[in-house]
Amino acid sequence: MAANGTAGEADEFWLFGYGSLIWKPPPHFDRRIPGWVTGYVRRFWQVRERNIQDHRGTPEAPGRVVTLISRSFWEQLTDHHNSAPDKVWGVAYRIKPDRVAEVKEYLDIREINGYTIHYTPFHPAPGVDPSLLPRNHNRDHPIRTLVYIGTPDNDQFVGPQDPQELAEHIYRSTGPSGPNRDYLWGLEAALDELSPESGDKHVTDLSDRVRAIAAREERKQGPKHQPLSVLQREHQHHEQPHDFRRASSIDEQEETEKAP
């Protein structure tokens, strides 16, 4: 048992993904468990700035990606999406014990494009095969996981936005690595697959708005930007994993998250 009451063998290293990591795993993992963390709210409030490593957005419309907001901070804000589930669903990955040092070396960068490293207790979903859990895990002892968070003090944190303006912005943001809307729709599809209760209204509402915008633009311009088909999403979920070895930043990792 870890000193802070979380489970995990001394040599175990777990990573929590609540964004693209859900469908794009890190390297060298041997276990993937759906579940949740509490005390946070997931929001599309992090700017994906355009720079030499990032082509998700244009200079006029840098893309938006998710971050976690501490729930107590979020409660002080005025957010148009004024409710949020208590549980932030995602997945925890266990890194193979013999690759932990190597993977930590890639991950243990203090700041990556606004995201900083934090640790948070992770609760596996009910019904997860017990053989996948740490030996000393039980309901009272969640798993300690590393998580990337873009906190409000980072330059790329945007804060509350009007959902329709945000949806228009996501719809417009694109670049050589693919449209920002594919990240949004990819997240919606990945969350749907985790559990019947893993949906996130912030994500589904934005996805619906962007679909409506795409339909509106299609009517105006002809069929240019089709939402991902089920097959395309399926393909996206089986793309190559995050490659922390080649990537010097999260931006570069996301460079590989191209829509098919």
- Residue 19 or 121: the one with the smaller Cβ distance to ligand BEZ is 19
Terminal Cα distance for the chain, rounded: 43
Q: Binding string, 239-258, against ligand BEZ, x = CB under 6 A?
A: -----------x--------
Smallest separation (angstroms) from ligand BEZ to the CB of 250 = 5
Q: Binding string, 138-167, against ligand BEZ, x = CB under 6 A?
A: ----------x-------------------
Q: Cβ of 85: how many Cβ atoms within 10 Å?
A: 16
Please report, as a single letter, which amino acid is at residue 71.
R
Give the angle subtended at the CA of 247 by the CAs of 200 and 124, to the nearest 5°.
35
Cα gap 49→55, rounded to integer Å: 8
The reply on whether position 7 binds ligand BEZ by CB under 6 A is no
- Residue 40 or 171: the one with the smaller Cβ distance to ligand BEZ is 40
Q: Binding string, 15-44, against ligand BEZ, x = CB under 6 A?
A: --xxxxx-----------------------
Give the angle subtended at the CA of 207 by the CAs of 191 and 160, to the nearest 5°.
95
Taking alpha carbons only, the member of 92, 6, 78, 75 closest to residue 41 is 75
- Residue 17 or 213: the one with the smaller Cβ distance to ligand BEZ is 17
Please report, as a single letter, which amino acid is at residue 81.
H
Q: Cβ of 211: how many Cβ atoms within 10 Å?
A: 17
Smallest separation (angstroms) from ligand BEZ to the CB of 196 = 21
Smallest separation (angstroms) from ligand BEZ to the CB of 155 = 15
Smallest separation (angstroms) from ligand BEZ to the CB of 21 = 3
Cα gap 38→29, rounded to integer Å: 23
Which class for 38: exposed (0-12), middle (13-18), buried (19 or more C-beta within 10 A)? Answer: middle
Q: Which residue matches tokens 């095969």?
A: 129
- Locate 209 and state its tokens: 């708005």
- Residue 19 or 134: the one with the smaller Cβ distance to ligand BEZ is 19
111 labelled catalytic: yes
Q: Binding string, 86-125, against ligand BEZ, x = CB under 6 A?
A: -----------------------------x----------
Smallest separation (angstroms) from ligand BEZ to the CB of 20 = 5
Among 111, 193, 197, 234, the active-site one is 111
- Helices then strands (H, E): number in the chain? 7, 8
Q: Which residues bind ligand BEZ (CB under 6 A)?
A: 17-21, 115, 148, 250
What is the set of active-site residues? 111
